[in-house]
């Protein structure tokens, strides 16, 4: 029996749009703590607060994004959000006051929240249901490739170019991505009976337990993507911090090539569980680097890269599975709500990680304590999924 066709022009365009959007995002992500420190003399706690404003704003808009996408045409909303996200990069270049930068960061978070929910929902509309897990895996792979090149490029440019030049490169990347997004053709959205406003129109109630598990998992992930370069500088690791993101992205990319297919075979909870075990081990390893540097700096530098690779494999394994889990708990008419709930859970944890990571490092004198805290949360998330969220999904899934 022939498989449903996965690749189409619109699927290719949205992959390109997703890559260029996340490349712009990741290009500035690792240099923002340095930018705030150099330009505004912000301390670690203030940096954590400012960076978390972005995630909090994205979080606030997510539930409304899902409702709008389930109620109105999805493509126009996607394009508007993409355009706003693009323009904010120009705003960073003119932000001479810290308060103005914070305003732009909040607006950027709103746009990011909308454009990511829109993109994830549209790609689900484009994909055949029999190959949805595989397709979501490839869609996420575009993020991972961007994660491979974006932070590494940003950190490299940080040593040779001005911050304004880096922001301008992000603006150009987003402009090219907007062109790709404009070329995406979406299937005609079926008219559905309008339902009364309720909580389930903004948040997938059946996804609450899985959302809690994902939230706990995303806290240490948020600490890693934002502070791992500063952590490496703090403990004296000589390896270019950009390589951490590169190897993490390699792990994410490689794992997505097979995890999506396993998801399509119905092994969603197994895939998530295996990813959680590896994630917990990797965060404990990250926390141990500070002590290991006193013992053998050379070995610790190699381990630093190995941890990045294992983290990539862990999260790359789980991403398509968690995304599909939320979609499979919702009727087709609530795909936007399911996607926004999935991303909201992730963003809450990222936001907590941004604030907690800087604050714990400030209070206890090092990021190693923050990563130890994150590792313990990963263990808690694993236990919660095994005994609560996973069984709940198996009882309530619709497909």
CA-to-CA distance for 303 and 288, rounded, in angstroms? 10
> Which of 74, 60, 331, 63 has its CA nearest to residue 197?
63
pLDDT band at 86 (very low <50, low <70, confident <90, very high): very high
Write out pLDDT tens, residues 254-264.
887 777 778 77
| pLDDT tens by residue, 222-238 | 888 778 877 887 888 87
Taking residue 257's Cβ as centre, other Cβ atoms within 10 Å add up to 13
pTM for the model stands at 0.73
Q: Which of 16-25, 193-202, 305-314 has the lowest mean pLDDT?
A: 193-202
Pull the structure tokens for residue 177: 């991505």
Pick from 143, 150, 144: nearest CA to 312:
144
Contact 53, 106 (CB under 8 A): yes
Cα–Cα distance measured from residue 15 to residue 319, given in angstroms and rounded to the nearest whole number: 16
How many Cβ atoms from other residues are within 10 Å of residue 69's Cβ? 26
- d(CA 280, CA 262) in angstroms, rounded, equals 21
Q: Does the pLDDT at position 191 exceed 70?
A: no
Token digits for 327? Answer: 């979609």
DSSP calls for 348-390? HHHHHHHHHHHHHHHHHTSHHHHHHHHHHHHHHHHHHIIIIIH
Would you state the pLDDT for residue 1?
Answer: 41
């Amino acid at each position: 029996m022939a498989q449903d066709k996965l690749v189409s022009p619109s699927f290719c365009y949205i992959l390109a749009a997703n890559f260029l959007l996340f490349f712009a995002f990741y290009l500035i992500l690792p240099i923002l703590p340095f930018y705030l420190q150099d330009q505004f003399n912000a301390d670690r706690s203030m940096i954590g607060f400012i960076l978390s404003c972005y995630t909090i704003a994205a979080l606030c808009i997510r539930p409304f994004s899902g409702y709008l996408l389930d109620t109105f045409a999805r493509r126009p909303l996607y394009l508007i959000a993409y355009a706003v996200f693009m323009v904010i990069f120009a705003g960073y270049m003119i932000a001479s006051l810290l308060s103005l930068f914070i305003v732009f960061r909040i607006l950027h978070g709103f746009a990011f929240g909308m454009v990511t929910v829109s993109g994830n929902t549209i790609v689900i509309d484009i994909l055949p249901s029999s190959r949805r897990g595989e397709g979501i895996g490839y869609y996420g792979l575009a993020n991972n490739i961007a994660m491979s090149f974006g932070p590494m490029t940003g950190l490299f440019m940080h040593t040779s170019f001005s911050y304004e030049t880096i922001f301008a490169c992000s603006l150009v990347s987003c402009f090219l991505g907007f062109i790709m997004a404009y070329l995406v053709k979406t299937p005609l959205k079926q008219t559905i009976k309008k339902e009364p406003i309720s909580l389930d129109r903004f948040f997938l109630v059946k996804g609450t337990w899985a959302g809690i598990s994902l939230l706990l998992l995303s806290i240490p992930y948020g600490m890693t993507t934002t502070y791992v370069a500063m952590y490496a500088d703090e403990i004296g690791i000589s390896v270019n911090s950009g390589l951490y993101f590169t190897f993490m992205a390699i792990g994410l990319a490689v794992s997505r090539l097979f995890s999506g297919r396993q998801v399509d075979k119905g092994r969603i909870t197994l895939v998530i569980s295996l990813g959680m075990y590896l994630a917990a081990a990797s965060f404990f390893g990250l926390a141990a680097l500070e002590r290991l540097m006193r013992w053998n700096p050379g070995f610790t530098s190699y381990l630093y890269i190995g941890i990045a690779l294992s983290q990539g494999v862990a999260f790359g394994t789980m991403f398509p599975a968690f995304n599909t889990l939320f979609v499979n708990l919702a009727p087709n008419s609530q795909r936007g709500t399911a996607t926004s709930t999935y991303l909201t859970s992730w963003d809450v944890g990222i936001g907590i990680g941004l604030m907690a990571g800087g604050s714990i490092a400030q209070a206890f004198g090092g990021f190693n304590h923050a990563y130890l805290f994150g590792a313990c949360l990963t263990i808690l998330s694993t236990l919660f999924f095994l005994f609560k969220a996973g069984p709940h999904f198996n009882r309530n899934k619709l497909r």
